[in-house]
Amino acid sequence: MTERKKVTVPDLAAWREGGRRISMITAYDYTFARLVDLAGVDMILVGDSLAMVVQGERNTIPVDLDEMAYHVRCVARARTKALVVGDLPFGSYQASAQQAVESSIRLMKEGAEAVKLEGGVTVASSIAAITAADIPVVGHIGLTPQSYHRMGGHRVQGRTAGFEPGGRERLLEDAHAVEQSGACAVVIEGVPLDLAAEITDKVSIPTIGIGAGPHCSGQVLVMHDVLGLCEAEFRFAKKYADLRTAVIDATSSFVDEVRGGTWPDLDHSFS
């Protein structure tokens, strides 16, 4: 069997050019990063979604840069073939382009190979500054979870016309701004599939969709949704396994055996 090659940033452009679709999944620790890498995923996103699925927050706003840096370090230690992208959390890049560069450097020092940040027109100068520091950037437009309060929750964007944030024309502008500032790819989240298709057609960089239909250059999902680890189920996600049930069943068997005195047996004991 030929060994899988390390995924690099230039591969993304080549794959877009050649029509090969890109897969990305989130992971937040060493063990799961190893597993999803073995499965052959192209990109691992250490997403700020960890605020919700790891830390139990209602949205992604509370997680900070120190916490993201810790999880990037855990994932990077898995030395994956997949490209590791570190998410810049809320408050780590909004203040200035300089802050954005410094936060990006921090995640790169922990082992990220690219960073991701949310927004279009409003963060274009920060994307350009990070790129000028030789740090690859993945943009993120549409339903940007860090805009939770402005959007009034996690709401599908681009359903109405206009240049206001969340309007269809604005999202096209955002996509162009991200592309022109030098991003190597852009996540499109929570938009109607025809708009995601139009953006994919109009920009030259790969588009990676989540809740954005089948016409993007690639797809991303949160690992907990793919593995069925959480109670919540979403229309935009697919549960490829039911690990929640598996974890509950395995743990309850352990509890029963401890209570029944059948664990540990002699095979698992030392003499």
Does the protein bind ligand KIV through residue 210 (CB under 6 A)?
yes
Number of residues that bind ligand KIV (CB under 6 A): 12
Does the protein bind ligand KIV through residue 44 (CB under 6 A)?
no
- Among 44, 109, 123, 107, smallest CA distance to 81 is for 44
Of 47-55, 62-70, 124-132, 160-168, the segment contacting ligand KIV by CB under 6 A is 47-55
Task: Name the residue whose CB lies closest to ligand KIV.
Answer: 47
CA atoms of 25 and 46, how far apart (whole Å): 9
* Position among 42, 87, 198, 225 found at the interface with ligand KIV (CB under 6 A): 87
CA atoms of 129 and 155, how far apart (whole Å): 30
**Tokens matching residue 240:** 């490829």
E strand map for 69-212: 83-87, 114-116, 137-142, 185-189, 207-210
Does the protein bind ligand KIV through residue 110 (CB under 6 A)?
no
DSSP notation for 174-187: HHHHHHHTT-SEEE
> In the complex with ligand KIV, which residue's Cβ is closer, 62 or 245?
62
**In 10 A of CB 236, how many CB atoms?**
16
Does the protein bind ligand KIV through residue 49 (CB under 6 A)?
yes
Contacts of 261 (CB under 8 A, 6+ apart): none
> In the complex with ligand KIV, which residue's Cβ is closer, 85 or 108?
85
Q: For the window 19-38, what string marks contact with ligand KIV as x by the rule CB under 6 A?
A: -------x------------
- Among 95, 146, 160, smallest CA distance to 116 is for 146
Burial class from Cβ neighbours inside 10 Å (0-12, 13-18, 19+) for residue 61 reads middle
* Position among 48, 174, 179, 225 found at the interface with ligand KIV (CB under 6 A): 48
**In 10 A of CB 128, how many CB atoms?**
18
> In the complex with ligand KIV, which residue's Cβ is closer, 233 or 257?
233
DSSP state of 270: -
Question: Smallest gap, in angstroms, from Cβ of residue 259 to ligand KIV?
Answer: 38
CA atoms of 113 and 46, how far apart (whole Å): 11
* Position among 220, 226, 227, 229 found at the interface with ligand KIV (CB under 6 A): 220
Question: Smallest gap, in angstroms, from Cβ of residue 176 to ligand KIV?
Answer: 20
**Tokens matching residue 156:** 């599908």
Q: 169 an active-site residue?
A: no
Specify the 3-state DSSP secondary structure of 192.
coil
Of 42-50, 119-127, 163-171, 174-182, the segment contacting ligand KIV by CB under 6 A is 42-50
Does the protein bind ligand KIV through residue 42 (CB under 6 A)?
no
Choosing from 110, 189, 231, 257, which is the catalytic residue?
Answer: 189
Cis peptide before 89 (omega within 30 of 0): no
Does the protein bind ligand KIV through residue 212 (CB under 6 A)?
no
Of 41-49, 107-115, 150-158, 160-168, the segment contacting ligand KIV by CB under 6 A is 41-49
Query: Which positions are catalytic?
Result: 189
| Residues binding ligand KIV (CB under 6 A) | 26, 45, 47-49, 87, 140, 187, 189, 210, 220, 222
